[in-house]
C-alpha cells in the first residue's frame, strides 16, 4: 500500500496549530485567572477536578501535577459524580470543571449539583459563552481557533490548551507556596529523579577506600597506595590533612616518561593541583555534574573542616541509580 500523503508536512501543521493556540492563551490570562489562583492558595480544602471523555484524561494529569507540587487535588469523573461520587466533595473544596464546549448534557446535569455543595466552581473551558462559563465563579479561558484534526472534531488542540492552562495554574501555586526542590523531593522519593533531589554525598562515599598520601610520600609508596585502594588515584595532603592535590594513574605515567630518576620523586612533585571536590553534605547529583563537566570519573570528598574524607566514583552514582 503506497502512502501518498506528506507525513512530515501533516505533523508540522499539527504542531504549528497547537503552538499558535497555546501562544494565544497568554492573552487570556486575566483577573479571573489570578483570582482563581489566589482562591485556591488560601483555601483550606482541596482542588477537585472533573471532566468527561478526553477532558477527564487532562483532568487526571492536572491533578497529578498539583499533588506533586504541593496543592492537594483529586479527580472526580463527571459521569460518576451523579452516581454517588459527589460525596467526595467537602465543604471547603474548589471544583474545576473541564470542558471544551461547556454545553454537553453531562455538564448541564452536573453543574447545578456542584453548586449545591457550596464549593466554588471554576470553568476551564474553550467556549466563553457556554452554560458552564456562565455558571462558574471563575472562568479559565482556553479558547482555540480550531482543532488540529482536519475535520475539526477530535480533541487535539483543545486538550493541549487545557493542559497548558493547568500547568500555568500549578506553577503559579507552586511559586506562591515557595515550593523548593527539597519540597519536591518529599513527593518524589522514587527513581533517579528522587535520588537526585535527596541523596547526599555523605550517603554513598563511606564504603569506598580512602587513598591518601602525604606530600612527602615517596613515589613507590604512592604506587602501593593507589594499587591497594583500587580507585586509580590518591589525594595528596599536608600535615593537617588538608588537600593539596591529586595523583592519578595518568600522573604516574607522565612522571615515568618525563623523569629518568622518577623513583626519587615525592608525591608533591608529581601531583596535579586543584583537584575537583565536593563537600560530604552536598547532593550526590553535584558530584555527577562535576564529573560530566570535567570528563573525570571521581571527585574528592571534603569534610566540615575542609579535610579529605574520601572519594566519590562514577560507579557509586551508577549503583545508586542517579544516572
Q: Which residues contact 75 (CB under 8 A, 6 or more apart)?
A: 48, 49, 50, 56, 59, 60, 63
231 by Cβ neighbours in 10 Å (0-12 / 13-18 / 19+) ranks as buried
39 and 142 in one domain? yes
Feature table: binding site: 77
Domain total of the chain? 2
242 and 120 in one domain? no
Q: For residue 1, what pLDDT is reported? A: 54
Structural domain contains residue 194: no
261 and 312 in one domain? yes
> Predicted confidence band at 323 (pLDDT cuts at 50, 70, 90)?
low
263 and 219 in one domain? yes
- pLDDT for 279 beyond 80: yes
303 and 240 in one domain? yes
158 and 24 in one domain? yes
Question: Which residue matches cell numbers 626519587?
Answer: 264
pLDDT tens readout for residues 246-277: 998 888 888 877 765 667 788 888 898 988 99
Mean pLDDT of 95-102: 96
**Domain that includes residue 146, residue range:** 7-179
> Predicted confidence band at 185 (pLDDT cuts at 50, 70, 90)?
low
223 and 129 in one domain? no
Are 101 and 128 in contact, with CB atoms under 8 Å apart? no
Residues facing 212 on adjacent strands: 235
Grid cell in block for residue 251 = 600522573
137 and 222 in one domain? no
248 by Cβ neighbours in 10 Å (0-12 / 13-18 / 19+) ranks as buried
Q: Which residues contact 142 (CB under 8 A, 6 or more apart)?
A: 25, 28, 124, 125, 126, 158, 161, 162, 164, 165
Feature table: binding site for Zn(2+): 77
Each as own residue / partner, the long-range contacts of residues 102-108 (CB below 8 Å, 24 or more positions apart, any chain) are 102/126, 102/127, 102/130, 102/131, 102/132, 102/133, 103/127, 103/130, 103/131, 103/132, 104/52, 106/52, 106/78, 106/79, 106/82, 107/52, 107/78, 107/131, 107/132
CATH code for position 156: 3.40.50.10490
208 and 143 in one domain? no
117, 146, 179 - which closes a domain: 179
Mean pLDDT of the chain: 89
205 and 170 in one domain? no
172 and 271 in one domain? no
Number of C-beta neighbours around residue 30 at 10 A: 11
108 and 162 in one domain? yes
Structural domain contains residue 106: yes
> Predicted confidence band at 280 (pLDDT cuts at 50, 70, 90)?
confident
Structural domain contains residue 245: yes
Amino acid at each position: 500500500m503506497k502512502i501518498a500523503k506528506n507525513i512530515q508536512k501533516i505533523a508540522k501543521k499539527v504542531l504549528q496549530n497547537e503552538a499558535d493556540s497555546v501562544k494565544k492563551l497568554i492573552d487570556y490570562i486575566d483577573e479571573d485567572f489570578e483570582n482563581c489562583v489566589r482562591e485556591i492558595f488560601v483555601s483550606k480544602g482541596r482542588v477537585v477536578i472533573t471532566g468527561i471523555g478526553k477532558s477527564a484524561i487532562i483532568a487526571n494529569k492536572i491533578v497529578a501535577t498539583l499533588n506533586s507540587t504541593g496543592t492537594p487535588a483529586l479527580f472526580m469523573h463527571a459521569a460518576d459524580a451523579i452516581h454517588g461520587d459527589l460525596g467526595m466533595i467537602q465543604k471547603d473544596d474548589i471544583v474545576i470543571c473541564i470542558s471544551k464546549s461547556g454545553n454537553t448534557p453531562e455538564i448541564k446535569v452536573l453543574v447545578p449539583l456542584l453548586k449545591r455543595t457550596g464549593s466554588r466552581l471554576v470553568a476551564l473551558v474553550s467556549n466563553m459563552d457556554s452554560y458552564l462559563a456562565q455558571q462558574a465563579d471563575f472562568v479559565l479561558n482556553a479558547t482555540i481557533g480550531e482543532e488540529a484534526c482536519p475535520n475539526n472534531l477530535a480533541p487535539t488542540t483543545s486538550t493541549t490548551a487545557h493542559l497548558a492552562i493547568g500547568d500555568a495554574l500549578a506553577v503559579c501555586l507552586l511559586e506562591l507556596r515557595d515550593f523548593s526542590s527539597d519540597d519536591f523531593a518529599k513527593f518524589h522519593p522514587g527513581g533517579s529523579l528522587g535520588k537526585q533531589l535527596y541523596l547526599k554525598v555523605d550517603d554513598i562515599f563511606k564504603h569506598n577506600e580512602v587513598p591518601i598520601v602525604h606530600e612527602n610520600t615517596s613515589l613507590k609508596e604512592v604506587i602501593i597506595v593507589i594499587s591497594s585502594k583500587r580507585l586509580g588515584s590518591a589525594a595528596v595532603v599536608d600535615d593537617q590533612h588538608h588537600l593539596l592535590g591529586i595523583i592519578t594513574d595518568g600522573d604516574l605515567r607522565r612522571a615515568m616518561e618525563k623523569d629518568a630518576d622518577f623513583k626519587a620523586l615525592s608525591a608533591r612533585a608529581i601531583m596535579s593541583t586543584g583537584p575537583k571536590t565536593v563537600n560530604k553534605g552536598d547532593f550526590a547529583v553535584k558530584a555527577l555534574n562535576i564529573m560530566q563537566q570535567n570528563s573525570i570519573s571521581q571527585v574528592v570528598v571534603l569534610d566540615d573542616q575542609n579535610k579529605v574524607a574520601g572519594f566519590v566514583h562514577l560507579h557509586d552514582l551508577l549503583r545508586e541509580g542517579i544516572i
